[in-house]
Amino acid sequence: MKRTIFPGSFDPITLGHVDIINRALPLFDEIIIAIGINADKKYMFPLEKRKQFINETFANEPKIKVETYTGLTIEYCKQKNIDFILRGLRNPADFEFEKAIAQTNRKLAPIETVFLLTSADTSYISSSIVRDILRNNGNIDGFVPKSVINN
C-alpha cells in the first residue's frame, strides 16, 4: 500500500492545495493531510476549523484522512510507517526550499519526497495571500474551496 502525507499548516486550505491533492489521488492508496502544529506560530484559523475545512472539502474521498502532528515531519512519517511526503511546487523559489528539506529528510530516513507542480490556474495562490485578502475584507472566491468560503 502506497501511503503519503501532505504536510502543512493549511491556514486555510487553498485551491492550490486541493489541486495537488486531487492530482495525487491516482498515485497513492492513502493520502494523510497532516496539519502541523507549531506552538510559536499565530494562526488565523483555529486547528479544529482548519480540520473542518479539509474534511468538508474531501468528504466524499475515502483515500484521504486528516490528522495533526507536532515536531519533525520525518518523525511523524516514521511513527506512521509512511514512505512518501507529497509537496506542491509553485515556482523556482519553492523548489529550492523544498529540495533542501527533501535532501535533509533523505539523510535522516529512507523517505521519498514526491513533488507535483501546481496547475497554472492555481500557481499564484498561497495561504498567506488568502489571509491578507481576508484581513482586508476582500473576496476569497476563486482562491479557496467552498468549505472556507461558507465559514
Whether 41 is a known active-site residue: answer yes
Whether 2 is a known active-site residue: answer no
**Predicted pLDDT of residue 104:** 94
Catalytic residue among 17, 50, 51, 87: 17
Catalytic residue among 50, 51, 87, 127: 127
pLDDT, tens digit, 9 for 90 and up, residues 79-130: 999 999 999 998 888 899 999 999 999 999 999 999 999 999 999 999 999 9
Whether 9 is a known active-site residue: answer no
- What is the CATH T-level fold of the domain 3-149, as seen in this structure? Rossmann fold (3.40.50)
**Predicted pLDDT of residue 9:** 95
pTM greater than the 0.85 cutoff? yes
Torsion of CA 13, 16, 17, 22, to 10 degrees: 130
Catalytic residue among 49, 78, 90, 131: 90
3-state secondary structure labels for all residues of the chain: CCEEEEEECCCCCCHHHHHHHHHHHHHCCEEEEEEEECCCCCCCCCHHHHHHHHHHHCCCCCCEEEEEEECCHHHHHHHHCCCEEEEEECCHHHHHHHHHHHHHHHHHCCCEEEEEECCCCCCCCCHHHHHHHHHCCCCCCCCCCHHHHCC
